[in-house]
Structure formats: C-alpha cells, structure tokens
Structure 1
Amino acid sequence: MKVFKILMIVSLIISCKETIKTNIKTSITEKESNRDSIVISFQKILDREKLKGSILVYDVHKKRYFSNDFNWAKTGKLPASTYKIPNSIIALELGIVDNDSTLLKWNGNPRRFKLWQQDLTFKKAFHYSCVPCYQEIARKIGVKRMQNYLAKLDYGDIKFDSTTIDNFWLQGNSKITQYEQINFLRRFYNTELPINKRTNSIMKKMMVINDNEVYKLSGKTGWSIVDEKSNGWFVGFVEQKDNVIFFATNVEPSPEFDMSLFPKSRKKITMEALKSLNYLDKK
C-alpha cells in the first residue's frame, strides 16, 4: 500500500512538471510568434516607404521592446536635431534662455529656410528645428559647461571641442543609439534627470506635437547628412490614460527613395508602427 502511494505521488510530481514545461513552452512560443508578426509589420512599413533602418518601441506597462531590427537599434548614429532636447535642457538650466517664450532674435543673415529668417520664440525654434538658433545657444553654453552637463545627463557618446561646439550633433564622431535615446527620454519623463523641475516642466510642454482626447504625442525629429548619406530620426513618447509608450525611429533612404518625402517620412512610419500596435486607438 505504501509503495502504491509513493508511486502515485511520484507520478503526480512528474505530471505536474510536464504540465509546467508545456505551459512555459507555449508561453515562449506565443511571445516569439507575436514578436515575429511585429517584425514583419514594422519591416513592411519601411519596405513600402523604401527606407531601411529600425523602429524601436518600448511599452512601459509590458516592460517590453518591439522592433524590426534590434541590431540596428544598438548601433550609434549622429543625434542630429534630436540633440535639441538636451541642448534646450542645458540652455534652460544655465539661464541662457528663460522659458519657452524667450525671443531668439534673427541677425538678418541669410538662413537655409525662410521659416528661420525671423525672430523666433524658443518653442518655435525647437519645433522649426532652427539650426542657427541652436548653434548660437551651443556657443553660449561653451565646451566645458556642455561637457559637464552631458556627463550629468548621461546622454550618448558625444565628442566635441572648441572647433566643433556648434555642429557636433550634425557632423563628426558623436553617437547615440535608439536604446540610449529611449533610456534618456524615460529618465526625462520620470523626472529622474539631475535638473530643475521647472526645466523639466518647460521642456515637456515644448515637446508636445499633438494633444487630443486619445493620446498626447511628444518628440523631436532629426536629420544628418554625412558624405551625401542621409540619416533620420524621430524620437519621443505617447502618453495614454494608463500607459506611456516610448519610441526611437532611425532610418536611411534607399537609392530609389524620393528625398522630397524624407522630412515627413520619419514621423509617418513611426505613427503607422504605433498604430499597428493599437497605441493610438481609443481604449
């Protein structure tokens, strides 16, 4: 009788272990299947637009990254105008600009775009991505103070000196990955950066692109050209009622791409990717 009971217990233990193994295997398979479908979905968006690169999305609640190319997302690129986020933070911290309404005067010299050839508020300079405005700000910050703040902010691998203080985010060896972009934005959003709450609050208002009843979209685009090769960014976050989704898109045009579409393409493909994950729909 005792032998029979022992055999029954052993049998039950083995059966439970097999059930657990099966459940674990099923769970892993489902996750892999979901990830594969996302890879295909994101890649189809890029292929259709004749772009190559990576769309990286992080869901705070799920604590999970989604992407079509995780290796690309780990490769450092010039930050381009996404650097206007830390550049703005440092300018506010040092009092070089007082707030988002501070007027940045145009000196009358010709600028690349007509939109830049006017006096601009700090907020408009950010949204219009006014390179000359931010070059002047960078020069006012100076090498030492810029280096000190970037070390505090833990922002990418940024390299510059007195000769490149006003263009290092567009040229040279400075690099940041998509993962680093999201990590920085998460710390910024959660008020974890070593900066004043006032600065954080001003920046959050400045970065808003779209605020509607379903979501609030905040972010910044970027575009660098090195050796006639373009690289584009769109980084930011989507706030919902009960979740925050961070994203960092980095792409390059294929030879057959129509470059007149590049300014809008980075945001377009990111929004499509977010929509494919149901992040822009009513809950």
Structure 2
Amino acid sequence: MSDQIELASILERNEGSVLTAWVAGQQSSTTRQGVISEGELIETSRVFLSLFARAVKTDYDEELSGEVWQPIKAHLVALSRERVIQGFSPVETATFIFSLKKPLFDALRKDIGKDAARLADEVWKLTLTLDKLGLLTVEAYQQTRQEIIERQQQELLDLTTPTVRLWESIVALPLIGTLDSERTQVVMESLLEAIVENEAAIAIIDITGVPTVDTLVAQHLLKTVAAARLMGAECIISGIRPQIAQTIVHLGVDLGDVVTKATLAEALKVALRRVGLTVNKIASAVRES
C-alpha cells in the first residue's frame, strides 16, 4: 500500500478522533483562549483537516507542489493574517499546525504500529509535510505583521505632517521629529497640496518640534521651500532656536533669502503683513475708531 493511500485511509477512519484530540491540544497550548471561541476553533480545524485529507488522498507530496495543496496554503495564510490581528505570537500561530502532529502520529501508530519500518516511513514523511505547513504559517504571519507595521508607520508619518490653514492665503506646516529623505517627500507633497487647496501665498514651516538640524535636514528644508516657490507661495521658517541657529552657522548652511523667525507667532505676524493684514488689540481698535 502506498504512503498516499495509507495516510488517506487512516485519516478517513480516524478523522473524528483526530479532530477532537487536535482541538483539545490547541486549547491546552494557547494562552489566548478567550480570543477565539471553541466553536470557531473547531470549525477552522475541521476545514483544514478536511482539506488536508483531500490533498493527501489526491497527491501526497511533502513538497506541497501540487494544485491540491493550494486551498490548504490559502487557508493557512488567511488564518495567520487573522491571528496577527488577534494578537497571537508567531509560535502560537504555528502551533495550529504543529499540534496536529501528535493526533496523527497516534492514529498512525494505532493502525500500523506493528510494522516498525512502515510506521517510521509514514511518520517521517508526515513530519516533513507538517513542518513545511507550519513554516508557511510563520512566513504569512511575519509578512502580515510587516505590512501592518509599514501601514502604521505611514499613518504616523501622515499624522506628524499636518498642514494647518492659519488665515486666508496663509498655511502652516508644523514638523515634529526627524526630517529624512522619505519624510521630506511626504512633507513636500502635503505642503504643495495645501498651497493649491487654500490658494496660499504664504507657507510657514515650523521646525520647533525638530530635535536637530544638520546639513541634510537643512537641504531638505530648502528643497521644500523651492517646491513651494514654484507653486507661487513664499515660505517662512519658524522655530529657529538659539542652538539650531548656532548649528546652521557652524555648518555654513546658506538659507538664502528665506525668512526665518524664532517662533510661529512671529512668523505669523510677518505673514499677515505680507498679505496686507495686521492684528490690533480690541481696545486700540476702539480708540482709533
């Protein structure tokens, strides 16, 4: 009897007991029993075991190269993605497959335990197959987690580059954190979109929240200023603290004719004057009237 027929026949006769033992093993090995209901765990395991039995019966290939293995792979990828979101660790996720070994080994031993050579061959081939499926869950888990991390990084990047309309034709872009090449691109796109949307004549780039300014950061700022000018907006850089001023001088960075101010408030005053507006105290305005 071939390996394919052997294991398929054993699975067919023992599917119920294997499923029960497998689910019990998963429940005893996971620390997140409250996240997945027992019914959901049973159904997920039942679907996989059914797909696995069909694959083994059709094409028992430990390389998982046949078409019949594709539904199993898709099932495991979907399961791994879901468990990332549910907070499972890679080990807990891979346990879904590795905990199936003992129930299947027990079933093999029950049926062919008297033939040591056949049992050894079956156990070894089944081990290779389940190990590959287990590694597949780990790979899918890691890929999903990396995608989530990258998405969160992008969302955080967007949150740290908000563009604010301060007044008619005046926008401000407060920067927080390090300004690298990738972030400069996001900053530039955000600022240019705001200039177009608000028909801004003045754009204030506030670097109060930027911890350090070196030559590279200064170059990124100048690129952003140049891009804004091409859109017809004049830029003012605010948040120039004494330490940053000394660093810029020490590095010999030439900001050209870019207006710089120590605070956002001072930059706003300049911006208002540039667009022909002033801010007066209410009392002064009343006396003048």
The TM-score by the shorter chain falls in which range? under 0.3
More relative contact order, 1 or 2 (CA 8 Å, 6+ apart): 1
Q: As a proportion of its length, which structure holds more strand?
A: 1
Structure number with larger C-alpha Rg: 2
Normalized against structure 1, the TM-score is what?
0.25
